[in-house]
Structure 1
């Protein structure tokens, strides 16, 4: 928790940079928000940083949903959301005793495994390695819900699932925007009343970051429009892998 907004110039710069990255990530620039997790953790500490990051993500979610809401594939959301809430509930229960670094390392390893399987699948011409079944949605949903509650690091997990479903670029972004808006707004009261990582001081800081989030959303929309489907999919895989490396640091 923070008691006052007394930061150095470098810390303010890093905060503003994080806000821009958060805004970009919510309109389709994949994985860049993962850079925010270690940066905020350095400034505020691990658990406290999750309460500062969450409202920033929520504000950015509104930009993403506002621009891409028509492109959401709700059949995938309905499959994921119930399992994701189970994951959030498990994380809420064990959050005070689980070692964050250990958990993030496990998530990173799973992301690498999924990326490897997905690349191998793309080179096959017949069989569907990731069938559109309940157990795959359940696994990714619970894992993603746990990861987003523990450290706001569910982006790579969710990206793996949607990429495996081979959604077009805009559907990928729109579905992800709705998913994280619903999940993040559901987590908000849990951070306030259970983990006590959000108060008026943190909310004031988050509101000050709103212009940076808006700038990031604007830049992200412009960038995504310039990317083809193939380039976009490759970028998602590359940045997701780099994001997983950050979880190991």
Structure 2
């Protein structure tokens, strides 16, 4: 356990890490947008590239809780379409990540979110079902999801666009997202360990230390989402994404 203290973090840094852990837990149980705040907050402490590996064990802990709670609600039809292409996106993100500095990291995060917002709003009023059934939509979403997840753990907005287009019910939306990220985040681990060297025993111990806050965040997320009516949840996703985008500009 002494390894984690070699970070020499200030009280403010620990408070930020604790907030990140809380938001990460909330994001995995339906509070969309909380996860998009986690990545830039942790980057303030460790920098963009390093933080992508430091936060990954936290995400995996939260993924397990999200899947445990919502596992019966996933749409495996959509997941099977996405997984192969997401794997390709992870590989592409691994190679691209070697050339991405902190400034570029922030730019990718901002572009991803700001492209997603108008698409979400458009899909909110789009009544047709054809879009998610087209092959190009699944292929592009899978690749973009894997790439942005690998580079900055920011595939939440990409998945939101896809699943909003699919018009899944609230619990199925959350369950499908939970399963997608559980599989994708575990698939990213070898690349972080052996290629980027951003996951070590020290980073894993840090995640274990804050795991009670991750689980607390997951419980808070369940409490919040249960109180959001089905018909309002789509707007909740959009508003939370906009809030994350505004934070990016601050």
Q: Would you say same fold, with TM above 0.5?
A: yes
* Residues 105 and 247 in structure 1, CA contact (< 8 A), matched pair in contact too: no
The Cα of 1:108 is off from its aligned counterpart by 3.8
What are the within-5 Å matches in structure 2 for residues 135-214 of structure 1?
135-214=136-215
Contact 2:67 2:178 in 1 (8 A): yes
- In structure 2, distance between residues paired with 1:66 and 1:10: 32
How far the C-alpha of 1:61 sits from its partner, in A, is 0.1
CA distances 1:168-226 after superposition (whole Å, capped 9, x unpaired): 00000000000000000111121111100111111111110100001001111111111
> TM-score, normalised to structure 2's length?
0.91
Are residues 57 and 68 of structure 1, via their aligned partners in 2, closer, same or farther at CA, if it must alter by over 3 Å?
Answer: same
Q: Which residue does the alignment assign to 1:12? A: 14
List aligned pairs for 1:112-127, cutoff 5 A. 112-124=114-126, 127=128
* Partner Cα separation in structure 1 for residue 70 and residue 153 of structure 2: 21
Contact persistence 2:49–2:101 (CA under 8 A): no
Following the alignment from structure 2 to structure 1, what is the Cα–Cα distance between the partners of residues 55 and 148? 14
Q: SS of 1:63's equivalent?
A: helix
Q: RMSD value over aligned CA atoms?
A: 2.1
Q: In structure 1, how many angstroms separate the alpha carbons of the residues matched to 2:40 and 2:105?
A: 14
In structure 1, C-alpha distance between the alignment counterparts of 2:65 and 2:102, rounded to whole Å: 29
Length-normalised TM-score, structure 1: 0.91
| Cα deviation code 1:67-117 (max 9, x no counterpart) | 000000000000011110010011112211134544653564454444324
**Separation (CA, whole Å) in 1 of partners of 2:8 and 2:116:** 42
User: Runs ≥4 in structure 1, deviation > 3 angstroms?
Assistant: 98-115, 120-125, 244-249
Where structure 1 has 5 or more consecutive residues not aligned to the other structure, the ranges are none
Report the counterpart of residue 78 of structure 2 in structure 1.
76
SS at match of 1:194: helix
